[in-house]
Chain A
Amino acid sequence: MRSSLNALIKREISVVLRSQSEFIYPLAFFLIVTSLFPLAVTPDPVQLAFLAPGVIWVAALLSILMSLNSFYQLDYEEGGLEQLLLAGVSGRDIVMAKSIANWLVTGLPLVIVAPLIGVLFDINWDANKIAMLSLFLGTPSLCLIGSIGMCLTLGLRNGGVLLTLLVLPLFIPVLIFGASAVQAAAIGTNFSGQLAILGALLVLSIMLAPFAGAAAMKIAID
């Protein structure tokens, strides 16, 4: 069973990597959106350092939201999903594999690039490390929660906008604890509580999101 999950993950990653440059978009989006804030708000380093945790987290959340589509929509339209389900692969495994692949292709690069944004926003190294760590713990939850919304909107004409409406309220807990961990690190207070809750949210979404996603996927394919 685990080997089937591995095979699924490999399939997802190779499908996305072969679709030319699409997987780069969310990362580019992340960089561009974050660099808009100094232009729009202020170039003052003190205020930028104050804004940084929120900006990094909101931008990361939106890039994950953007990346979901490339993992599901084409697969659904071309019938790949239906074939997988017909072949007896469980919906939960598909959602899990897609989320893992999604995180490896989109989430992990965000984690790696985040310190660069931190440097641009002039936050200290401690906060930068925690930004990486909180994104590392938080972005997988976002991929999993997002997959529920994605499965619900499969095959809808205006799915993209609707996806935002459905998923963003559910992202709020991760956003709150992710950003506040970075903030706490930046002012030098204890941040372990926030990271622990991010971890708990991750465990919870690993447990529950595949069920909901699979149920939603079956509705779309019926």
Chain B
Amino acid sequence: MWTWFYQLASPKWFYQFSTRLLPWFRWITGLLFLLGLALGLLFSQVDYQQGNTVRILYIHVPAAFMGMFAYVVMAITGAIGFVWRIKMAHIVSVSCASVGALFTLLALITGAVWGKPTWGTYWIWDARLTSFLILFFLYLGFMALHNAFDDKKTADRAAAVLAIVGLVNIPIIHFSVEWWNTLHQGATISKFEKPSMDADMLAALLVMLAAYQFYFLTALMQRVRAEILVREKLSGWVQKLVTGNNS
């Protein structure tokens, strides 16, 4: 068990291990998406107030969840890398950023598309929307900081500090934004009024959540592999891999 854990921290071993794992993850992701979308778009019930617009829920809610989840993974792996100086942890942390930022952006865009027919406007300075926008800015800051350094090691450590600071701040930002909004205008549209959810809607949502989770793992793995190749480009095994198998 422990040797397996140690091996995970070696870029070369991780690369080879993930080569075998990746096809499986791709297939599971694809199947889960097919199943989830079929359940959500074809077989789940129509909301009595919102009609078919409610179906965007199956895209929007998992994206929002994954946007936050990816940030937590990014900060925790960053902290692990910072404290124990594990190269692989930093690579995972950095790879989380762009995937997480995309999830957050997707949640914002689908939210806007959803908002137009239901609330009558694309954007409203609602607490949740605002704190998501700020989350997106935090991701941008992380990526910008990491790109600003020439030396990867310095970049990793600096970005890890920023991710941890951000993680401490996210709850504070979230609650202050919530407070700000309720203070300003009362709860006009507090959050999306959930009709206590139907069983088949919930099933579709959970399948979609699993699909997003696997998509995250797959995309993360591919980013990590690319990052490993870039960082280890001077080592023997990468050169062998790139120039041809046997030479």
Q: A residues bordering B, Cβ < 8 Å? A: 148, 152-153, 156-159, 162, 165-166, 168-170, 172-173, 176-177, 180, 197, 201, 204, 208, 212, 215-216, 219-220, 222
Residues in chain A near residue B237, CB distance under 8 A: none
A219 adjacent to B161 (CB under 8 Å) = yes
B145 adjacent to A169 (CB under 8 Å) = no
Max count, chain B CB within 10 A of own CB: residue among A176, A201, A220: A176
Residues in chain B near residue A152, CB distance under 8 A: 145, 158, 161-162
Known A-B contacts A153-B148, A158-B148, A165-B140; A180 and B161 likewise in contact (beta carbons under 8 Å): no
Given A215-B161, A216-B161, 8 other A-B residues pairs in contact with their CB atoms under 8 A: A152-B162, A169-B137, A169-B138, A169-B173, A173-B172, A176-B179, A204-B172, A219-B161
Known A-B contacts A169-B134, A172-B177, A173-B172; A219 and B154 likewise in contact (beta carbons under 8 Å): yes
Residues in chain B near residue A170, CB distance under 8 A: 165-166, 169, 173
Q: What's the minimum C-beta distance from A184 to chain B, rounded to whole angstroms?
A: 8
Q: Is B242 an interface residue (CB 8 A)?
A: no
**Cα–Cα, bound, A152→B161 (Å):** 8
Residues in chain B near residue A197, CB distance under 8 A: 176
Q: List 22 A-B contacts (CB under 8 A).
A: A148-B161, A148-B165, A152-B162, A156-B148, A165-B137, A165-B141, A166-B144, A169-B137, A169-B169, A169-B173, A170-B166, A172-B177, A173-B172, A176-B176, A197-B176, A204-B172, A212-B161, A215-B82, A216-B158, A216-B161, A220-B154, A222-B154
Q: Which of B127-184 contact A (CB under 8 A)?
A: 134, 137-138, 140-141, 144-145, 148-149, 154, 157-158, 161-162, 164-166, 168-169, 172-173, 176-177, 179-180, 183-184
**Cα–Cα, bound, A175→B148 (Å):** 27
The chain B residue with its CB closest to the CB of A156 is: B148
Residues in chain A near residue B138, CB distance under 8 A: 169
Q: Is the interface of A mostly helix, strand, loop or mixed?
A: helix
Cβ-defined partner of A176 (8 Å) among B154, B169, B177: B177
In this complex, how many residues of chain B approach chain A with their Cβ under 8 Å: the count is 28
**Cα–Cα, bound, A168→B137 (Å):** 9
Residues in chain A near residue B158, CB distance under 8 A: 152, 216, 219-220
Q: What's the minimum C-beta distance from A166 to chain B, rounded to whole angstroms?
A: 4
The chain A residue with its CB closest to the CB of B175 is: A173
A165 adjacent to B173 (CB under 8 Å) = no
The chain A residue with its CB closest to the CB of B176 is: A173
**Cα–Cα, bound, A168→B176 (Å):** 15
Q: What's the minimum C-beta distance from A97 to chain B, rounded to whole angstroms?
A: 20
Instruction: Indicate with 1 or 0, residue by residue over B189-211, a CB within 8 angstroms of chain A CB atoms.
Output: 00000000000000000000000
**Cα–Cα, bound, A185→B166 (Å):** 31
Known A-B contacts A152-B161, A216-B158, A219-B158; A162 and B144 likewise in contact (beta carbons under 8 Å): yes
Instruction: Indicate with 1 or 0, residue by residue over B51-85, a CB within 8 angstroms of chain A CB atoms.
Output: 00000000000000000000000000000001000
B144 adjacent to A165 (CB under 8 Å) = yes
Known A-B contacts A216-B158, A219-B157; A162 and B168 likewise in contact (beta carbons under 8 Å): no
B179 adjacent to A166 (CB under 8 Å) = no
**Cα–Cα, bound, A148→B162 (Å):** 8
Residues in chain B near residue A168, CB distance under 8 A: 137
Residues in chain A near residue B173, CB distance under 8 A: 169-170, 172-173
Residues in chain A near residue B141, CB distance under 8 A: 162, 165-166, 169
Known A-B contacts A173-B173, A176-B176, A180-B180; A208 and B144 likewise in contact (beta carbons under 8 Å): no
Residues in chain A near residue B183, CB distance under 8 A: 180
Instruction: Indicate with 1 or 0, residue by residue over B95-137, a CB within 8 angstroms of chain A CB atoms.
Output: 0000000000000000000000000000000000000001001
Max count, chain B CB within 10 A of own CB: residue among A165, A197, A201, A220: A165
Residues in chain A near residue B184, CB distance under 8 A: 180
Known A-B contacts A170-B169, A176-B180, A212-B164; A153 and B134 likewise in contact (beta carbons under 8 Å): no
Residues in chain B near residue A216, CB distance under 8 A: 158, 161
Residues in chain B near residue A172, CB distance under 8 A: 134, 173, 176-177
